Structure 1
Amino acid sequence: MTTAPSAAFTPMRLGPLTLKNRFIKAATFEGRMPRGEVTDGLIDFHIEVAEGGAAMTTVAYCAISPGGRVHRDTMVLDTRRATALRRLTDAVHTRGALVCAQIGHAGLVANTRSNRMRTLAPSTRFSAPAMGLVRAATIEQLDEVVSDFGVAARNAVDAGFDAIEVHLGHGYLLSSFLSPNLNKRRDRFGGDTARRAELARRVVERVRAEAGDTVAVTAKFNMDDGVRGGFWLTDSLPTARLLETDGHLDALELTGGSSLLNPMYYFRGDVPMAEFIASQPASVGLGLRVIGNRMFRTYPFEEAFFLPQARQFREALTMPLILLGGVNTMTTVTNALDEGFEFVAMARALLRDPALVNKFQAGTAHEGLCVHCTKCMATIYDGTRCVLRPESIGR
């Protein structure tokens, strides 16, 4: 038995929401929020996705505090930005789609020189993005992090978001606490799998409490850090079971890799090193010339590259799951639904063609146009885009 292609375009519940189909635009840093401000470009980015047929688009990445930014052009989801974001959520709703806010704290991934603020880590260690040593967070600082997540969730609701995605992946703060490689603490936030999950569980509980029962709460969750000694299935599966048992999440979006230590693990494809070097200040570009090939490992692109790990979670859990990673064809979508995944999340495929979902539904396309060159990665500093789209060529 195979799921009829039309099943991808049937409504599906996500907590209190009903999504019109099974397609979610995954969080992709838009590069359209200078100094963290809401711009027409940011709104237009998500209008295009909504008009293209996705059931829900995700605004990325909304920091819970100034110190939790990735860099100075990261938005902080405070009360002022919440008011400004109303234009975005209203615009997406007018186009018949829902909209999610991804919230998080960058932790070791934060560029402290750009932010001009210190960041946090589970244990003291050097961080290349922070360009220096990051000190272990105190208990008081972690209490403040939990509180800040709650405030950001409340602001997301006030801004009109339909869903909130808690960032538990890619080496960001909560993800780093889950990792045995990064978390060497000896208090209640470190040690075995359950103790390393304590901070993430407290945050998710607070977000759910502040979000209420009309907004969906999901998490972007690392299955595998792609790092020796990092968070892997032997830790991530039990952690996911704990999160499911807690009952505060409506779905998990399954991912992997580390922005801190192995970013190409969650991109897959060619490494756009020349473009990276060209997009950086001269001193950073020089560093990339010297050590870039060690920082950015090469992983050949494969369709649905996270599916083998994700199957382990589908077997172990009953909660809704969102399949992410190399979803480019209608066959992949159909097969994912056959295997019991409730939704698929797409990123680069929709950068290349935001109308792809509509084309899938009309039967005018069965595969996206993305060639997996990953050159879009180097465009995040002046507006994330596919360099092969007509309006991008020649820029």
Structure 2
Amino acid sequence: MSRKAVPDVLAPAQLGPVTLRNRIIKSATFEHMSPGAVVSDDLIEFHRRVAAGGVGMTTVAYCAVAPEGRTEADQLWMREEAVPGLRRLTEAVHAEGAAISAQIGHAGPVANGKSNGAPALSASRRINPMGMKVVHAATLADIGRIRTAHGAAARYAIESGFDAVEIHFGHNYFASSFLSPILNRRSDAYGGSLENRARLVRETAAEVRAVVGDSIAVLAKLNMDDGVPGGFWLDEAIQVTKWLEEDGNLDAVELTIGSSLLNPMYLFKGEAPLNEFGAIMPPVMRLGVKLLGKHFLHSYPYEDLFMLDAARQIRANVDMPLVLLGGITDKAAMDTAMAEGFEFVAMARALLREPDLINRIAADHSAKSLCIHCNKCMPTIFYKTHCVLAVPEPPVRPGVVDLSVPESVEMS
């Protein structure tokens, strides 16, 4: 791979056709601020604060490409009715000097079929272990429809003023379920060999690029490791990233880990806040979390730059721009990422704790994040995502908690 000069993480940078004011991206975290599946004032303020706090680009989480692809019924999905609110959102972020990306995708086996009123879909039939609901195998017609829907979602993103879209190929969502050997038991052109299992992500990236051309940037969020035995792992992720680079449809790839379906805590590291999860659940679910939560919500030791070891192996095999995620909370970690050859860094939990963290780091390069990686922000995804140490908790609305939406837990 070619050697590049080490860039300044705080200096402007080019991402496809878009110039960002720095190389720091607010990674997608489910906000739970879109009642009626449209933008709310709370969602606008959430991203406006991060933009005012200095990031180069903020990412709006879970812009579903189809109604059955939502994690739950109040998740945003890209359609004409959502455009006016999305425009207000992009305008608010642009007014603060930042760019804005829409994370588009289909939740697949992690979707809440009961809430959405439509069956959840995956590469193969299975049972969702959290909701104990049947997930149906996608037909070829489903695959074609969902692939086309990604293009339509990208078109709505352009109409709404977004600077980029990030296609969700991670966390065992729909596309990721095809990549994963443990979830994909198909025998057609989308199953079996890695080339077949990767067919959907390549076709989806091509679909989106064909729609947007060079008008906005196109990124993808790609798993390096599902975190479960028999799942998609690094050796295959290296090859898939090579194919995505050869196809030439992406401006960057954000590297991630974990399965929202099978092992959500693998993405975060740190303690699993079982007591906090249980506290917001109805009594029966609370008992279930107490008795069984430790078998699903595992704890992993936290360390800074916890995805670097895996990500540098992909960095060694491709030249395309890569976004490093995971345990990046200060300038020292950002500088390490730049020195390792990554073009961008992504942050999430630290920006929930301090939306203005990047401004603080720009003013004082020794500034440290106040985030302690307690993961107590995770249960708040059921009632407006926030850091419990930074702001008072909003009241919990009765009846909104549903353990069948573990996919909403995405913060790094």
1:382 offset after TM fit, Å? 1.3
Distance 2:130 2:110 in 1: 5
Distance 1:364 1:340 in 2: 20
Residue 90 of structure 2 aligns with an amino acid whose one-letter code is T
Match of 1:179 in 2: 180
Q: 2:388 aligned with 1:387, yes or no?
A: yes
Residue 175 of structure 2 aligns with an amino acid whose one-letter code is L
Match of 1:10 in 2: 11
Match of 2:262 in 1: 261
Q: Which is further off, 357-366 or 55-64?
A: 357-366
The 8 Å contact of residues 113 and 130 in structure 1, kept in 2 or not, is answered as no
1:284 offset after TM fit, Å? 2.5
1:390 offset after TM fit, Å? 4.1
Label 1:283 to 1:115 Cα distance change in 2 as closer, same or farther (>3 A): farther
1:254 offset after TM fit, Å? 0.4
SS in 1 for 2:218: strand
Distance 1:201 1:189 in 2: 11
The 8 Å contact of residues 69 and 75 in structure 1, kept in 2 or not, is answered as yes
Match of 2:342 in 1: 341
Q: 2:360 aligned with 1:356, yes or no?
A: no
The 8 Å contact of residues 356 and 365 in structure 1, kept in 2 or not, is answered as no
For 1:253-302, what per-residue CA distance to the aligned partner results, in whole angstroms no more than 9, with x for missing partners?
00000000000010111111111112223332232222111011110111
Distance 1:337 1:377 in 2: 29
Distance 2:129 2:158 in 1: 34
Q: Normalization by structure 2: what TM-score?
A: 0.93
Match of 1:19 in 2: 20
Label 1:316 to 1:100 Cα distance change in 2 as closer, same or farther (>3 A): same
Match of 2:306 in 1: 305
1:392 offset after TM fit, Å? 4.3
Q: 2:215 aligned with 1:214, yes or no?
A: yes
Distance 2:35 2:349 in 1: 22
1:145 offset after TM fit, Å? 0.7
Distance 1:67 1:393 in 2: 28
Distance 2:297 2:392 in 1: 28
Distance 1:281 1:128 in 2: 18
Q: Normalization by structure 1: what TM-score?
A: 0.96
1:212 offset after TM fit, Å? 2.2
Residue 197 of structure 1 aligns with an amino acid whose one-letter code is A
Q: 2:118 aligned with 1:120, yes or no?
A: no
Distance 2:324 2:373 in 1: 18
SS in 2 for 1:85: helix
1:37 offset after TM fit, Å? 2.2
For 1:283-330, what per-residue CA distance to the aligned partner results, in whole angstroms no more than 9, with x for missing partners?
322322221110111101110100000000110010000000111121
Residue 334 of structure 2 aligns with an amino acid whose one-letter code is V
Residue 88 of structure 1 aligns with an amino acid whose one-letter code is L
Residue 20 of structure 1 aligns with an amino acid whose one-letter code is R
Match of 1:277 in 2: 278
Residue 135 of structure 2 aligns with an amino acid whose one-letter code is V
1:131 offset after TM fit, Å? 2.7
Residue 352 of structure 2 aligns with an amino acid whose one-letter code is L
Distance 1:279 1:163 in 2: 35
The 8 Å contact of residues 387 and 393 in structure 1, kept in 2 or not, is answered as no
Distance 2:296 2:347 in 1: 25
Give the 5 Å matches for 1:12-51: 12-51=13-52
SS in 2 for 1:375: coil
CA RMSD of aligned residues (A): 1.7
Distance 1:393 1:129 in 2: 25
The 8 Å contact of residues 194 and 236 in structure 2, kept in 1 or not, is answered as yes
Match of 2:167 in 1: 166
1:367 offset after TM fit, Å? 1.7
Match of 2:241 in 1: 240
Match of 2:60 in 1: 59
Label 1:158 to 1:388 Cα distance change in 2 as closer, same or farther (>3 A): same
The 8 Å contact of residues 50 and 97 in structure 1, kept in 2 or not, is answered as yes
Distance 1:300 1:394 in 2: 31
Ranges in structure 1 where 5+ consecutive residues have no aligned partner? none
Distance 1:41 1:311 in 2: 37
For 1:10-42, what per-residue CA distance to the aligned partner results, in whole angstroms no more than 9, with x for missing partners?
111111111111110000011111232211000
Q: Which is further off, 50-59 or 270-279?
A: 270-279
Distance 2:252 2:137 in 1: 30
Distance 2:124 2:256 in 1: 23
The 8 Å contact of residues 38 and 81 in structure 2, kept in 1 or not, is answered as no
For 1:164-217, what per-residue CA distance to the aligned partner results, in whole angstroms no more than 9, with x for missing partners?
000000010000100011101110000111100001111111111112212000
1:373 offset after TM fit, Å? 0.4
Ranges in structure 2 where 5+ consecutive residues have no aligned partner? 397-412
Distance 1:24 1:196 in 2: 29
Percent of residue pairs bearing the same amino acid type? 49
Label 1:26 to 1:343 Cα distance change in 2 as closer, same or farther (>3 A): same
Give the 5 Å matches for 1:371-382: 371-382=372-383
Match of 2:133 in 1: 132
Q: Which is further off, 104-113 or 318-327?
A: 104-113
Match of 1:317 in 2: 318
Distance 1:116 1:363 in 2: 50
1:157 offset after TM fit, Å? 0.7
1:364 offset after TM fit, Å? 6.5
The 8 Å contact of residues 258 and 265 in structure 1, kept in 2 or not, is answered as yes
SS in 2 for 1:8: coil
Distance 2:99 2:281 in 1: 35
Match of 2:333 in 1: 332
